[in-house]
Amino acid sequence: MSRLVIVANRVPDPKARGATAGGLAVALQDALQRREAMWFGWSGQTAEATAATPEEVVKGRLTYATLHLGQTDYRRYYTGFANGVLWPTLHYRLGLAQFRREDYTGYRGVNAAFAAALAPMLRPDDLVWTHDFHLFPFGRELRRLGCEQRQGFFLHVPFPPFGLFCALPRAEELLADLAAYDVIGVQTEDDAANLRAALETVGEGEAARRVAAFPVGIDAEAFRGLAERALVRADSRRFEQSLVGRALVMGVDRLDYTKGLPQRFAGYAQLLARFAAHRGRATYLQVTPVSRGDVAQYRSLRRELDEWVGRINGQYAEPDWVPLRYMTRPVQRPVLAGFMRLARVGLVTPLRDGMNLVAKEYVAAQDPADPGVLVLSRFAGAAPSLPGALLVNPLDPDEIAESLDAALSMPQEERAARWEANRPAVWEESARSWSRAFLAAMEG
Ligand code: ADQ
């Protein structure tokens, strides 16, 4: 079997395992166990200048090769272009993108430097699988250096219609970059249709035929196990006791403007305003660890959420009831899994999301005999495969309130039937089937 080289902006910490490992590491676990492999990318640390040769850590059949980023490169490539321009644009939020020519140049420069560092380490029959929007140009840079290995690219975030994407300066160059990859993967059929049309419009019809949807998933059985075992943990029990029989509504998201948090809080406020029966009977826990604190929009979002929490609790709290509990600290996966199992409603309302794994984790965590209800944005990539969810338009707080009311009032029989409808996709469109399908296409 040929070696698998995973190229990602952020390489996981070789010391992290299981509960602390990042999302991509968990999703690729199966692929990495089955063959010799290498992680290649940014170490997560900055230095005076971007390193030319990677640091290597070897763990059995898995090698970690990482580079520190220079401070200027970090600012231009990572904060400036990847997070400041591509992230909002790919999530349909053009107005938030702040394009600066030097950031774009920095972005291309880091991609070229990464390719130059990896090229000498490659073996002729390696499979090179590059991940996400930080690395559009990476494959073409490798080709420029004469690397002829099979190359795949997977985009974890949405791809918008061309009419929107083409407003991005240098959009055509970024699309031409994709033509260097033998397989171009996206999350959903909608993303695939958008990307194919974009490629065709810029004269890359041949590359358009290499685009396919590979919906990412989770290891549902493992997550179910985590959630079940969590029930006996002291922290889960303390939390359960603190609910004193009240129905739990739960949200789990990185602090990000794509996740629709202000609109979600407005929806919960509408529930309390319009459906007074739930006052004192429901408790909403939102777990939202801070991310990308060095981007201005994330700091102002944080202030906006702080205000919402104060306003809702100030207006509706009782001496013995807090309507909205809000945490910005990260929570360990096993603890989170246990909280999800206790939740009567999983509230997942991103304005746009490539897939959204929290929706799938919430379904996996439920007790099949007495499951909770998933309230899900129709703009999450997960929506088409979860027919048992109550779908909402995340921009409409009244619709969120109505769905919350329906979910909180739903009889057990209907909850069980809806859970059953969600089950096949969560168990079958798994992390393992995702990586296997993608690798099969690459080996094609
Ligand atoms: P994200 O935008 O990070 O991922 P998501 O798919 O929901 O979004 O994955 C987040 C992961 O982090 C989940 O496994 C979740 O449990 C975990 N997580 C979230 N909040 C946490 C907290 N407070 N504490 C601990 N863990 C937490 C990007 C795309 C998605 C796409 C994934 C995978 O934006 O659309 O689904 O990649 O392709």
Give the H or E element holding residue 136: none
Residue 254 CA to ligand 1 centre (angstroms): 7
Q: What is the pLDDT at residue 296?
A: 83
| Ligand 1 atom nearest 158 alpha carbon | 35
Ligand 1 neighbourhood includes 22 CB (under 6 angstroms): no
Tell me what percent of the residues of the chain surpass a pLDDT of 90.
Answer: 91
| Ligand 1 atom nearest 259 alpha carbon | 2
Q: What is the mean pLDDT of residues 160-164?
A: 98
Q: What is the pLDDT at residue 220?
A: 97
| Ligand 1 atom nearest 382 alpha carbon | 36
Identify any residues that bridge with 283 across adjacent strands, giving them in sequence order: 248
Residue range 258-269, pLDDT digits in tens: 999 999 999 999
| Ligand 1 atom nearest 329 alpha carbon | 23
Q: Which of 310, 308, 390, 315 is nearest to 349 (CA)?
A: 390
Tell me what percent of the residues of the chain surpass a pLDDT of 70.
Answer: 99
In the predicted structure, residue 19 carries a pLDDT above the cut 50: no
Ligand 1: residue whose CA is nearest its atom 28:
156
Residue ranges of alpha helices (H) inside 205-352 are: 205-208, 220-230, 234-243, 261-274, 296-316, 333-342
In the predicted structure, residue 16 carries a pLDDT above the cut 80: no
Q: How confident is the model at residue 425 (pLDDT cuts 50, 70, 90)?
A: very high
Q: What is the mean pLDDT of residues 114-140?
A: 98
Rounded distance, CA 124 to CA 131, Å?
Answer: 20
In the predicted structure, residue 294 carries a pLDDT above the cut 90: no
Stretch among 2-11, 14-23, 270-279, 429-438 having the lowest mean pLDDT:
14-23
Residue range 332-352, pLDDT digits in tens: 999 999 999 999 999 999 999
Q: How confident is the model at residue 22 (pLDDT cuts 50, 70, 90)?
A: low
Ligand 1 neighbourhood includes 429 CB (under 6 angstroms): no
Residue range 206-224, pLDDT digits in tens: 999 999 999 999 999 999 9
Ligand 1 neighbourhood includes 324 CB (under 6 angstroms): no
Q: What is the mean pLDDT of residues 97-106?
A: 98
Q: What is the pLDDT at residue 26?
A: 83
| Ligand 1 atom nearest 26 alpha carbon | 14
Rounded distance, CA 218 to CA 427, Å?
Answer: 8
Q: What is the mean pLDDT of residues 7-25?
A: 78
ipTM: 0.95
Rounded distance, CA 364 to CA 377, Å?
Answer: 18
Q: How confident is the model at residue 17 (pLDDT cuts 50, 70, 90)?
A: low
Q: How confident is the model at residue 290 (pLDDT cuts 50, 70, 90)?
A: confident
Ligand 1 neighbourhood includes 330 CB (under 6 angstroms): yes
Q: Which of residues 294 and 88 earns the better pLDDT score?
A: 88
Burial bucket for residue 142 (CB in 10 Å: 0-12, 13-18, 19+) = buried
What global pTM score does this model have? 0.96
In the predicted structure, residue 18 carries a pLDDT above the cut 60: no
Q: How confident is the model at residue 11 (pLDDT cuts 50, 70, 90)?
A: very high
Instruction: Report residue 203: phi and psi, to 5°.
Output: 80, 20
Tokens of 231: 């029930």
Identify any residues that bridge with 285 across adjacent strands, giving them in sequence order: 250, 325
Q: How confident is the model at residue 21 (pLDDT cuts 50, 70, 90)?
A: low
Q: Which of residues 25 and 283 earns the better pLDDT score?
A: 283
On the CB side of 372, how many CA atoms lie within 13 Å of its CA? 27
In the predicted structure, residue 20 carries a pLDDT above the cut 90: no
Active-site entry in 156, 219, 256, 278: 156
Stretch among 130-144, 230-244, 304-318, 419-433 having the lowest mean pLDDT:
230-244
Tokens of 315: 């207006």
DSSP 3-state assignment of 137?
A: coil
Ligand 1 neighbourhood includes 357 CB (under 6 angstroms): yes
Mean pLDDT of the chain: 96
Residue 435 CA to ligand 1 centre (angstroms): 17
Q: What is the mean pLDDT of residues 109-119?
A: 98
Q: What is the mean pLDDT of residues 422-434?
A: 97
Give the H or E element holding residue 46: strand 37-47
156 is catalytic: yes
Residue range 177-200, pLDDT digits in tens: 999 999 999 999 999 999 999 999
Residue 152 CA to ligand 1 centre (angstroms): 22
Q: Which of 254, 328, 339, 376 to mutate to test the pocket of ligand 1 (most atoms within 8 A of CB)?
A: 254
One-character DSSP codes across 64-132: EEEEEEEHHHIIIIIIIIIIIIIHHHHTT-GGG----HHHHHHHHHHHHHHHHHHGGG--TT-EEEEES
Active-site entry in 103, 177, 253, 353: 353
In the predicted structure, residue 438 carries a pLDDT above the cut 60: yes
Q: Which of 86, 188, 355 to mutate to test the pocket of ligand 1 (most atoms within 8 A of CB)?
A: 355
Residue 356 CA to ligand 1 centre (angstroms): 6
Instruction: Report residue 342: phi and psi, to 5°.
Output: -75, -15
Helix axes 397-409, 261-274, angle to 10 degrees: 60
Q: What is the pLDDT at residue 79?
A: 95
